[in-house]
Structure 1
């Protein structure tokens, strides 16, 4: 088996547990996909994101899988301009459901990552199909 991706939790701020994470910018690693997740937009606006292939931004909406994990309540205009200027694709994470897919596309996200809507469902296959159908329509 060959490793094709490397999800890294990079930390622009070096405090607490984040001090254990690699700092941005990450070095490019030939042949590897590198991603990380951010919980604010400042790192997405950074000119030098190093070897990142793409990034996640969360929580965009209240989490489906993490009870009590609330949306970061990103400013919509700031989010639009940040996503438009970001040199890498950014994927939404947190509270993604089929009815929110058009809004995510309109905001400028490259796509979405989903956990709770699928795995927390009584019908995971049906839930996944509903998400895929919503994505096909945008």
Structure 2
């Protein structure tokens, strides 16, 4: 299993954005990433400078959202939906998307994903996929 570092993730998004702007060939994952980047034009400046992106610290205390975490969550949700893992996430996402649109649905799902991860880490237990999907259904 591949476990990218935060620097790897930042380089990936910056490189995908660079390729898209240069008209270079995109990998399938690059293409998904740039679609989500396009939904967040406020991140363009951050993505144009790899060195600054690697050096920047996004702290909860600073009250600043981490664009790389945000984009990574979009990618994670897109992957989960594409393979329906955890089981039921595709139907739950599709129902939410029909009501809110894809982007807003993803933001609602992010809340559930974050809650599942936080609960898992706090309790020292594996993530509860059923609770996650149920959370999405409730939204």
Greater per-residue strand proportion? 1
Q: Normalising by structure 1, report the TM-score.
A: 0.31
**Relative to total residues, which structure has the larger helix share, 1 or 2?**
2
Q: TM-score under structure 2 normalisation?
A: 0.30
